[in-house]
Amino acid sequence: MKTGLVLEGGAMRGMFTAGVLDSWMDEQISFDGIVGVSAGALFGINAPAGQKGRAIRYNLKYIRDKRYMGLRSLLTTGNLINAGFAFYEVSSKLDIFDEAAFQRSGVDFYAAVTDLHTGAPEYIRITEPFRQMEVLRATSAMPYVSRPVELDGRFYLDGGVSDSIPVHFCKSLGYDKTVLVLTRPLEYRKERPAAWLQRFNRLYYHRYPAFAESLNRRWEVYNRQVEEIIGMEQRGELFVVRPNGPLPIRRVEKDPAKLQAVYDLGAEAGRASLSGLKEYLLTHE
């Protein structure tokens, strides 16, 4: 029986996901495939590599480092998160990602990105993370505060714009069981953007009208996904872990104590889910 895992993004709300996954690593729970969006991909990639604690460790260490992210990086590079430091230097020198262990795991790992030209999602399989670091940058490149990331002559931004919770893509891969880790509570729904913001999106991304439309419709797509997930969960087609309430953290958070607190909430939720998760994974439909 093959299992798939979907990891929602949400910038630093992803610390919740990191906590969940680390708690599952303690129990040797693994998946045949993982589909990550934005922070879900960035932090989730540590699970196949067996690097428990890596995501919270390097974030705690560098979150206040001017080289990592902030206004200085935005003004000098066009990216709120500094690509050279946060993606390349941290992963290859300061808190080294174990690419060999990732590859030995045999996990099919996908990162969702949004094509600026079509406004549609694409799902790129990660087999060589160091060589494909730009894909990981693209999946997490937040609109407005990130330059578009070029991949094979096309431009991409945050996968969450077009597919925040890629459960349908994961199911299309043929897994028998699908598990989701979400970073919003059950009752959360997005609101329609104000008319002025919709106009701003069309102006700001005037070169990419399909992407602007995806931004403007994101609330609708997301809310529909949530309702579909609730239905699938009630029918026993999914197993979902989500926070019990709003996570006490901003999308761009510089307070290490808040990162730790949200990570701890995730670890607690992961441990609390173990009995139900094991039962779901072992039950034959």
State the Cα–Cα distance between residues 39 and 43, nearest whole angstrom.
Answer: 6
In the block, tokens 């990732």 appear at 102
> What Rg do the C-alpha atoms of the chain give, in angstroms?
18
CA 223-6-146 angle, to 5 degrees, is 75
- Between CA 66 and CA 71, with CA 69 as vertex, the angle to 5 degrees is 80
Mean pLDDT of residues grouped by 10 in the chain (285 residues)?
97 98 97 98 98 98 95 93 96 98 98 99 99 98 97 98 98 97 98 98 98 98 98 97 97 95 99 97 78
Cα dihedral 137/166/169/101 (nearest 10) = 50
Predicted local distance difference test score (pLDDT) of residue 63: 95
CA distance 106 to 32: 7
pLDDT on residue 284 = 66
Q: Which domains does the chain have, with CATH numbers?
A: 3-63+98-190+229-282 (3.40.1090.10)
The pLDDT of residue 139: 98
**Cβ-Cβ contacts under 8 Å for 139 (sequence gap 6 or more):** 9, 36, 37, 38, 41, 42, 111, 112, 113, 158, 159
Confidence at residue 283, expressed as pLDDT on a 0 to 100 scale? 83
